[in-house]
């Protein structure tokens, strides 16, 4: 039997980094992203982010490419946002994304990093 451990810290943003992910949308979007992952045999270990971008720590099945994983997550979530929030008709994810492999020994630190993003972005001005 094969054993594959495949973890990725992913980040993607709204098109043109528009601040479209308001707190009330975040409350529903983060769990929804986890549900998309589950339906596609992935595991969203942690989901977080701010008004213009999302972080997800994903565990992928051995045969799934990261590009496919993010295509599924971004596509289904965009469709859901348009259907659920009529005022968000202009919502679009940016095509690009970042995906970084994470070793098992760094999973806890990555979860802490994702959980801390909202506070971090409140303090920083860019």
Whole-structure pTM value: 0.89
Q: Residue 39's closest CA among 9, 61, 7?
A: 61
pLDDT surpasses 70 at 111: yes
In this prediction, residues 35-60 reach a mean pLDDT of 97
User: What pLDDT digit, counting tens, does each position of 8-21 carry?
Assistant: 999 999 999 999 99
Domain extents in the chain: 19-60+77-95
pLDDT surpasses 70 at 104: yes
The pLDDT of residue 54 is 97
Q: Which residue has the higher pLDDT, 126 or 22?
A: 22
């Amino acid at each position: 039997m094969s054993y594959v451990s495949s973890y990725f810290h992913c980040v993607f943003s709204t098109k043109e980094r528009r601040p479209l992910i308001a707190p009330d949308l975040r409350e529903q979007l983060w769990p929804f992203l986890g549900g998309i992952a589950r339906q596609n045999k992935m595991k969203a270990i942690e989901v977080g982010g701010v008004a213009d971008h999302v972080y997800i720590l994903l565990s992928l099945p051995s045969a799934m490419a990261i590009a496919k994983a993010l295509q599924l997550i971004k596509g289904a979530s965009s469709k859901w946002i348009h259907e659920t929030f009529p005022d968000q008709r202009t919502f679009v994810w940016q095509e690009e994304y970042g995906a970084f492999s994470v070793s098992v020994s760094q999973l806890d630190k990555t979860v802490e990093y994702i959980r801390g993003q909202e506070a971090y972005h409140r303090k920083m001005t860019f």
